[in-house]
Structures are given as C-alpha cells and as structure tokens.
Structure 1
Amino acid sequence: MTTTERPIVLPGDTIPPHLIPSSTTKPLRLGPGLRHVPPSDIVPVVAGQLITNHQKNSMWVEYNNNRYLPTPGDLIIAQITRSGPDFYYCLLSPYTPHATLPHLSFESATKKTRPQLLPGSLVYARVILANKHMDPEIECVSQSTGKSDGLGELKGGMVFDVSLQFARRLLMSRSREEGKVEVLELLGEEGLAFEIAVGRNGKIWVGGEDVKVVVAVGRALRETDEAGLGVEEQRRLVRRLVKGMK
C-alpha cells in the first residue's frame, strides 16, 4: 500500500484535495468512516486516522469501534442461521441485521448443485449491498469472473473473535509498515501448517489438521490484538507458543 500522510480527522472535517487519490483509470472507493456529500465533498463521519491507498484508489478512516457496520467490498465471516426459498439468512455480528446470501451465489451453483448449508455453518463471503434502508447482502462468488476466489463454506477449524481494528490491519498491506502484524508470517516460519480467513467483522477462521496448531494460531492472534504487541513482542510470543507445543 502506498501511503504518504496519515492525518487525524474529526467528524465534519474538510479533507484537503491532495490527500484524495486521483486515479484516472479507477473509481474512487470510500471505506469505513467516510461519506460522499454531493457534488464532490468527502466528509469523515468518525474520528480516527485517515488512510489512503493510491494503488487501489481508495481511502478510509482507521478507528476503533466495537460495532461492525457492513460496507460493500468487505470480506466477512458469516454464520448461517436459517434457509429460505431463495436465500440463506446469515449473522455477521450481534449488532448487525441478518444478511441475505442468495442460494445461487456460489461458484457453478444451480438449483440442483447449490451447497446445502445447515444452521451453524460458516461462510467466507463479500458484502455487495449495504445501506440503512435494506438488510445487507453477501455473495460467495465473484460477479466478474464467476469464480469463488477463495470464498465459500468454511469447513472444520475454529473461529476467534478479535477487534475490528485488528481485523482491518490483517487485511491491509503486506508491506513492512508501522503497526504491521507479522505474527502469521512468524508462525509459518516455525513450520506450522494452517489456513486462515480474516473477516472485517472481527472474526478470524483458522483451519488445519492439527488441533494444537489451530489453537496456538488463535491464541497468538488474540494475544497480539489484546496486548497491542510490537514486532519483537510478537516474535517472543510465537517462540513461547511453539515451545509449549513440543
């Protein structure tokens, strides 16, 4: 991610034009914490750190919030609560209205071949519709390619709750920046085999054949989040957890 300034903004502040990405080939994407006021104003609606990604021509406000607000494009982990004639009804968080997941929003799905998801099943999905007048809608297939692109049912494994800010940090750039979360790379360097899916709704799914590894990865993520560990502290944490597994 290419970032230059990360100023602190307050609700209603005016954002200087030079901080707004200006790609001529990509539409400007506004993430959490920002609102477009016609014709051309972009206004913060929360207090936090303004982040700009010039490569993706996007910007958002980084802030700590205990309530998840769905935003189109978000990758989330949802739990199936029930099935209707055309939709699954999914829980994104305790404070969010149930989202709808069309039965055919899966790769190569037809009425005969669509997944049969039972209540309690987990899916990794993308938010495609979210506004205050309608329930959110999610999908498990890319509308442009028709492929799952890693989305779909999450089988086995365990789900761990983390803060929304920590989930956003995990989904951000892989580059070495201030505040980078390296705990996953460090666990991989220790030879631990696992799969992971990170949801912007503050949920992380960890899968793997060894239950001890799954639990260790979940503990590492939770402790890194709750204690706000730096890179060196993350290294010590990983060494301690791996030593405890032997």
Structure 2
Amino acid sequence: MTTTHMIVLPGDTIPASSLPISTNPNKALTLGPGLRHIPPNTIKATISGALTTDVRKNATWIEYNSGRYQPSPSDLVIAIIASSVSESYTCTLTPYAPPTTLPHLSFESATKKTRPVLPLQSLVYARILPFSRYTTPELTCIDPSTGKADGLGPLKGGMVFDISLAMARRLLAGAKGGVMVLEMLAEKLVFEVAVGRNGVIWVEGGNVTVTLKVGMAVQEVDRGGLGVEGQRALVEKVLRGL
C-alpha cells in the first residue's frame, strides 16, 4: 500500500518519521526518483513533489509531474526493440531517454536455443534493474523473487497509446490512484493492458474497435482529469458506442 506524507521542495531533509518501517529488518530501504542519500543517515529531496512510501516494498520516492521520463530502478516499462547484438537487445523507452539493454536470456526459462527471437520494433514489458549513473540501464523480463515472468515479456498484437507520466503512475497505483476507468470497462469488456512508467499503455482488446475504445478512454481521462463520476459517464458513453 502506498502512502503520501507531505509536499517537499528541493533540498528538504526527509524526517525519519516519514520513512517506511519494514517488517523485514534485512530489507534495505529503496530510494526512488527525487531522493538522495547523504551519508551517514540523511535523505534529501532533489525535486519538488509529494513524498510517497510503500511499506511492503520498503521504498520511498517523490511523485511529481514531469514531461520527460527518466529511467529509475524497479520501474515497469514498455520498451521497443531497436537492435540486437550477440547477447542482448538494445531497447528504446522514449525518444529522449537513454537506450537500455535487455539480455537475450532475461526471459522465463530462456536458453540460447529457446530464447524468444524478437524482430525490430517489437514491444516488451520489462522491469528496470538497479543501475548507477555510469552504466546503461538494463531490463529484465523475469521477477527475481520468483524466477517467473509474472506478466513480463513480449507484447503481441494490440496497440500502444501515449499517456502522461502522472497518469502512468496513477494507473500503476490501481484504484488508490483514482483511475477507475479500466476496472469499469473490464466489467463489460474483455481486454488486456500493460502500463509503462515511461508514459505508455498497451491495450489488446481482441479486435481493433475495443482496443481503440479502451485506449482512447484512458487518454480522455488523462487529458480531462476526470473524477470517478466523470469516468463512469465516459464508460457508459464508450459502451453505447460498441
């Protein structure tokens, strides 16, 4: 469960009382976007936004609106295969983000003989591994805690729709993010979605009409800042048009 504590400004020191308290003493605190650790025990904000924590993941970060995506460890992203070399793919997250790499064997049960062969411009749903400012971000399609794909991997068919970074964060937060349109549509329609923190949503509705309607509904909520009642009215409009 995520919790928002307060609004912070660049240079603010984060009080210990606002940090998550993990039930696992061996699990280190994970700092996400907008926070910097200053040894030995000081954590400062580097951007303005809402300080947010996730106790289950023992993680904290700053939610903020930004027009340009910056890769961050643990982010779920939708990547485009740009090229392939001997042992990895080079992937694009956005036109402005640095390229990332995806090892050929970073798929569930992959071996040199069974790994997926992905053509250029293919889409993959992946997670960003920890990296330093001096290294190229690396992606994986395996959950390290289970060794399984758990929903990650190549995305086949469907369409992608651009959304704001704030909307991507809200969708990944589920109902707690205030975006109910997908849950409402799923009560009447069958479709799959994958949300990338890099400002992309992939939708597969089984046919072009459903796919377009679902993706464009999410974009309309994003543009209009619709609340729950506005989203309910939008869903009714979409269903009438099918």
Look up the match of 2:16: 17
8 Å contact kept, 1:129–1:138: no
Look up the match of 1:125: 126
Code of the residue aligned with 2:126 in structure 1: it is A
The whole-number CA distance in structure 2 between the counterparts of 1:10 and 1:23 is 25
- Residues 204-215 of structure 1: matches in 2 within 5 Å? 204-215=201-212
Look up the match of 2:222: 225
Code of the residue aligned with 1:11 in structure 2: it is P
Look up the match of 1:33: 34
8 Å contact kept, 1:70–1:130: no
Code of the residue aligned with 2:190 in structure 1: it is A
* Structure 1 residues 82-135: Cα deviation after superposition (integer angstroms, max 9, x where no partner): 100011000011111110000010111111111110101000000003332111
The whole-number CA distance in structure 2 between the counterparts of 1:183 and 1:81 is 32
Higher mean Cα deviation, 141-150 or 221-230?
A: 141-150
Q: CA RMSD in A?
A: 1.4
The whole-number CA distance in structure 2 between the counterparts of 1:231 and 1:161 is 21
Code of the residue aligned with 1:181 in structure 2: it is V
The whole-number CA distance in structure 2 between the counterparts of 1:131 and 1:2 is 25
* Structure 1 residues 3-42: Cα deviation after superposition (integer angstroms, max 9, x where no partner): 3x53110011011221111225132122211121211111
Summarize the Cα distance change of 1:165–1:15 in structure 2 as closer, same or farther, 3 Å threshold: same
Give the structure-1-normalised TM-score.
0.93
Summarize the Cα distance change of 1:133–1:231 in structure 2 as closer, same or farther, 3 Å threshold: same
2:179 aligned with 1:181 = yes
- Residues 69-218 of structure 1: matches in 2 within 5 Å? 69-175=70-176, 179-189=177-187, 191-218=188-215
The whole-number CA distance in structure 1 between the counterparts of 2:125 and 2:185 is 22
Give the structure-2-normalised TM-score.
0.95
Summarize the Cα distance change of 1:205–1:102 in structure 2 as closer, same or farther, 3 Å threshold: same
The whole-number CA distance in structure 2 between the counterparts of 1:77 and 1:2 is 22
Look up the match of 2:57: 56
8 Å contact kept, 1:170–1:181: yes
Secondary structure of 1:131 counterpart: coil
* Structure 1 residues 155-210: Cα deviation after superposition (integer angstroms, max 9, x where no partner): 000001101111011111544xxx51101111112x11100000101111001212
Secondary structure of 2:209 counterpart: helix
Unaligned runs of 5+ in 1: none
8 Å contact kept, 1:78–1:124: yes
Structure 1 residue ranges, 4+ long, deviating more than 6 angstroms after superposition = none
